Amino acid sequence: VGDKPQPSKGLVITIDGPAGAGKSTVAKKVAERLGFAYIDTGAMYRAITWLALENQVDLDDRYILTDLALRARIELFGAEGGNKVYLDGHDVTKQIREPMVNAKVSKIATYPELRRVMVAKQREMAQTGNVVMDGRDIGTVVFPDADLKVFLTAGLEVRVQRRYEELWQKGYNPTYKEVEESVVKRDWQDSNRKVSPLRCPSGAVTIDTTQMSIDQVVDKIVRLLNNGRS
Ligand code: C5P
């Protein structure tokens, strides 16, 4: 999926990894620290999933879904904009984290036609300047020549616990078992799809966050970028 990217105008840091590895929290903080834009590509797949569910689109129909993605105007507002996600001018920040979206997003993300549309949107977004972009295929497909590629991992138990706490904080009340099943299923789908599966990109630095605080991970990434450029 995706032809060769146009060289980006600024620096690009990619952060890939499984669910609950801490990608978005870390990516957001790295972006803030460096004054880069943060692009959450998972939010983009989620926005399309939410739109499809809202419009009762058949999730087996990849062509309607791709058309939906083509027409959708997705806007991501960074830290100053409260990290909001807008779809066709409407704030969908909260809706795209709903359990229903969690359950379906990885299915939609298997369609190569739809992924091609998303990759093009992501590359266009990065043309604005320096960016930190997180997802599953950013270092492998979207920006294989990025200035710094990171693969974030953590033990399953820690990842489930993080997701569990996050959901309870957001007002959802799933059981630990439900969260575990959802994380395992999504990782399996993301790692085993034919197109752009979740992989550690070649040349990426792997960081296991199981025993690390968020700030330690952020420090490490900032150091890696600076070392790479000195
Ligand atoms: O990062 P987040 O957990 O919000 O991503 C939601 C889902 O979107 C992932 O489980 C995956 O199926 C899909 N995704 C993807 N490629 C990306 C980002 C997300 O397939 N670059």
Q: What is the per-residue pLDDT across 17-40, written as a single tens digit (0 to 9) for each?
A: 999 999 999 999 999 999 999 999
pLDDT recorded at residue 9: 76
Nearest to 20 by CA among 189, 209, 170, 169: 209
For residue 230, the CA-to-ligand 1 centroid distance in Å is 33
**Atom 1 of ligand 1 has which residue's CA nearest to it?**
42
Query: What's the one-letter identity of residue 56?
Result: Q
Asked whether the predicted pLDDT for residue 74 surpasses 80, the reply is yes
For residue 223, pLDDT over 70 is answered with: yes
pLDDT at position 2 is 62
Which pLDDT score, from 0 to 100, does residue 79 have? 77
What are the structure tokens assigned to 84, written together? 């909001």
Q: Which atom of ligand 1 is nearest to the CA of 19?
A: 3
- Distance of CA 220 from the midpoint of ligand 1 (Å): 24
| Distance in Å, CA 106 to ligand 1 centroid | 7
Helix (H, G, I), strand (E, B) or coil at 86: strand
Residue nearest to atom 15 of ligand 1 (CA): 136
Q: Name residues contacting ligand 1 (CB within 6 A).
A: 19, 41-42, 45-46, 105-106, 109, 135-138, 186, 190
pLDDT digits (tens, 9 = 90+) for 5-19: 776 779 999 999 999
Cα 184 from Cα 158, distance rounded (Å): 13
Nearest CA to ligand 1 atom 14: 42
pLDDT of residue 170: 85
CA of 187 from ligand 1 middle (Å) equals: 9
Q: Is the pLDDT of residue 78 over 90?
A: no
Residue 82 binned pLDDT confidence (cut-offs 50, 70, 90): confident
Question: Average pLDDT, stretch 51-55?
Answer: 97
Q: What is the pTM (predicted TM-score) of this model?
A: 0.94
Kindly provide the residue ranges of all beta strands, DSSP E only, lying in the chain, ordered along the sequence.
12-16, 37-40, 74-76, 85-87, 90-91, 131-135, 148-153, 205-208
Residues 186-215: what's their mean pLDDT? 96
Q: Is 133 exposed, middle or buried (0-12, 13-18, 19+ CB in 10 A)?
A: buried
* pLDDT tens profile 134-190: 999 999 999 999 999 999 999 999 999 999 998 899 888 999 999 999 999 999 999
Query: Rounded to a whole number, what is the distance in angstroms from the first to the last CA of the chain?
Result: 33
pLDDT > 70: percent of the chain: 97
Q: Is the pLDDT of residue 115 over 90?
A: yes
Supply the pLDDT for residue 7: 66
User: What percentage of residues in the chain have a pLDDT greater than 90?
Assistant: 88
Residues 114-123: what's their mean pLDDT? 98
Reading the block at residue 192, the tokens are 């085993």
